[in-house]
Amino acid sequence: MDHSAAAQTNVPQTGALGITHLDRFYKRTMANRSGRQQKTNAKEWMLDTVLFAGLNLAIEETVQMLFKNGPSLAEFEKWILDRNDGHIAPERIARINAATEGHEVPEAQKKVIAAIEKMPSVLSADDLAFWEENGYVIVPGVISKEESKAAETVLWQNLRMDANDPNTWYPASEHQSIMVQFFHHPVLRRIHQSLRMHKAFAQLWGTADLWVNTDRMGFNPPERPGWSYAGPKLHWDTSLTQPIPFGIQGILYLTDTAENQGAFCCVPGFHKRVGEWLKNLPPRTNPRETILNTPAKPIAAQTGDLILWHQALPHAASPNRAARPRMVHYVTMFPCQPEPEREWL
């Protein structure tokens, strides 16, 4: 047996981008695509999520592309570069490798973290108390009116709709989701660099060493004959296996949004009582169906405001009974910190 060749197969490989975990993720995904199922544990999933965030990749879009096209690693890396305007800074690659390989945070990132930690607080003591009690908080003015307008314009352009012509606001299917599968644009990447947003997340997480996800936009037009709100209805995006670990989700309003304008809704304080609520449900009750009948509070906010909520809080959008669409961008930040292994409930 050629022991030197055998040893080489255990050496971490990298493609042209020089990202070790990208090679691992690619090989695992291609194996699953070919029917050789490889389970992803909580730690590996966390590293995948960091990889996606570091490379400005949307999880769903990336996995769909790989399964549909079956590209080579070189083709996959070119696809990644195309979603980063052809360039990924070396310090970004160094940070991804450090996080996914368990190495010390690079000096360049340490400086960024230190600067954010020294920033004045974005969330006041009252804000933090409100968060603890209700499980959500509004962070005003995370981005400027001008940045919000730019993102709103990009969304209109992507949808190929006229902001001044309501007849163009409705897709062909009445039951189409309000989620917009649009992820990549310089305007959105600038939003992700908001220091005010980063500081708010850092205060809640207790660390400024965070990654920002690449997520969708949202467009919820007013209801009218032939178009009714199709959901999503009140739900969780996490397993209900107890205890539900700490996690934060976020939605950024790109326009002023009234309570009746399809606003984000949640059940304030439910994150503190979800465990007891589950215990008291009758046997064989589906909690995800039961929660649909729970009254939820619509949260109005202004252009550029960010709503953050605890992942244990049931939440949804709502029917839009106003005159203008609700336009949003979903965004969250998280540390490289895997959740415990849990069965899906």
Q: Is the dihedral of CA 178, 182, 188, 194 positive or negative?
A: positive
pLDDT classification of 6: cutoffs 50, 70, 90: very low
pLDDT in tens, 241-282: 999 999 999 999 999 999 999 999 999 999 999 999 999 999
pLDDT in tens, 117-167: 999 999 999 999 999 999 999 999 999 999 999 999 999 999 999 999 999
Cα separation, 91 vs 31, in Å, equals 30
Above 50 in pLDDT, residue 8?
A: no
CB atoms within 10 A of CB 309: 24
Coil, strand or helix at 265: strand
Mean pLDDT, the chain, integer:
93
Residue 139 contacts residue 306 (beta carbons within 8 Å): yes
pLDDT in tens, 167-196: 999 977 655 789 999 999 999 999 999 999
Domains parsed from the chain with CATH numbers:
12-104 (no CATH), 113-334 (2.60.120.620)
Q: Angle CA(320)–CA(326)–CA(329) in degrees, nearest 5?
A: 140
The DSSP symbol for 77 reads H
pLDDT in tens, 304-324: 999 999 999 999 999 999 999
From the list 292, 175, 180, 294, the residue with the least C-alpha distance to 235 is 292
From the list 227, 142, 145, the residue with the least C-alpha distance to 178 is 227
pLDDT in tens, 51-109: 999 999 999 999 999 999 999 999 999 999 999 999 999 999 999 999 999 999 999 99
pLDDT at residue 10 in the model: 42
From the list 168, 154, 141, the residue with the least C-alpha distance to 252 is 141
pLDDT in tens, 290-305: 999 899 999 999 999 9
